[in-house]
Amino acid sequence: MKRLATTCLIIPLLFMFFHTSVMAEESTTDILKERKALYEKMEAVTQIPWNIFAGADSYERGIRKGRNDRPQEDGAIAIYFSPEEWAGEINPNKEDTDPLSIQLFGGKGVDGNGDGISDRKNDEDILMTFASHLQKYGTEDEDLKIGLWEYYQRDKAVDFILGHAKIYKTLDSLDTDKYAFPVPTNRNYSYKNTWGDSRGWGGRRIHEGTDIFADQGTPVYATTYGIVELVGWNKYGGWRIGIRDTNNVYHYFAHLSRYEEDMDRGKMVEPGEVIGYVGSTGYGPKGTQGKFPSHLHYGMYRDNGYIEWSFDPFPNLKRWEKQS
């Protein structure tokens, strides 16, 4: 009798759990579709390509995760304007929504959806305000680059945004939520959480990553969709490759024995794609190898719009390993 009661209790609970997780999945897809539709609508009106809106939006969504001076976005769009930027520095009403007085006080906010108000929290008004800036420079690729630089005043912002834009255009989708463990899980490998340990070579540095020990020549996979940002030698990391994903997160792979062909700066990669092979390079001048057992050093770095810092990749590695 007691068992029956427990079963009766568990089944509805399981159903509820299943139901909520399906709903959560649906709503993520819905948000991505809603965002893409918004970008496309704005492209039709402004001639700014939809994937440029998408790139800037995900750049700003990524930097919000790394700082606490910006509130959570209200709608589907993460591009941010402070009240002063929107209404104008000298506007006595920082929450002004009147397009005319905003213009009078030199604010940026415009009306994008034609309802006669410039609402700092309305997605279409935000995108149109952003587009108004870019339109001053033009809509060709080179113009957009200049417009983005003038807007963010940061080389990395332009690079990240154009990288994200390339990924979204190639996929014709905003869905980049796919990951891979960096080495084949059917091969020999081992790793433990070594993030933050002190390390022996090159002075006092902490270990900014996880070491995955594997045989020399084991393929190394890209873990996310991303753009190759760095390829080359460094006396610590040996042959390295760095990949930037659509959350602005930088994925760093070091000590490779060699690269996969065509791993040049600017190339787009996808999760599970072979980018290189495990080795033991580094800790000396170009070509040095064999000073330690072969392993992949894998690091992750977040960017907040100003600086980058390392965070522990171990929990992600555990998750991706389980999913593969």
Footprint of Zn ion on this chain (CB under 5 A)? 211, 297
**In angstroms, what is the minimal distance from the CB of 135 to Zn ion?**
46
**In angstroms, what is the minimal distance from the CB of 276 to Zn ion?**
15
**In angstroms, what is the minimal distance from the CB of 298 to Zn ion?**
8
Neighbours of 314 (CB within 10 A): 17
**In angstroms, what is the minimal distance from the CB of 238 to Zn ion?**
11
**In angstroms, what is the minimal distance from the CB of 292 to Zn ion?**
9
Nearer to Zn ion, 211 or 273 (CB): 211
183, 209, 187: which is closest to 196 by C-alpha? Answer: 209
- CB 77, CB 98: distance < 8 Å: no
- Provide DSSP, 91-110: -S-TT---HHHHHHTT----
Cα 202 to Cα 184: distance, rounded to the nearest angstrom: 30
Nearer to Zn ion, 244 or 297 (CB): 297
Nearer to Zn ion, 91 or 294 (CB): 294
- Provide DSSP, 182-198: SS-TTS-EEE---TT-B
81, 85, 73: which is closest to 35 by C-alpha? Answer: 73
Nearer to Zn ion, 211 or 229 (CB): 211
Nearer to Zn ion, 107 or 313 (CB): 313
Find tokens 């020999």 and name the residue.
Answer: 188
**In angstroms, what is the minimal distance from the CB of 211 to Zn ion?**
4
Cα 62 to Cα 305: distance, rounded to the nearest angstrom: 9
286 DSSP 8-state letter: T
Cα 122 to Cα 102: distance, rounded to the nearest angstrom: 16
In degrees, rounded to 5, the angle at the alpha carbon of residue 301 between the alpha carbons of residues 297 and 302 is 165
Nearer to Zn ion, 96 or 211 (CB): 211
Find tokens 């894998």 and name the residue.
Answer: 298
27 DSSP 8-state letter: H
**In angstroms, what is the minimal distance from the CB of 283 to Zn ion?**
11
Nearer to Zn ion, 77 or 254 (CB): 254
**In angstroms, what is the minimal distance from the CB of 278 to Zn ion?**
12
- Provide DSSP, 228-263: EEEEEEETTTEEEEEEE-TTS-EEEEEEEEEEPTT-
Closest residue by beta carbon to Zn ion: 297
Nearer to Zn ion, 167 or 296 (CB): 296
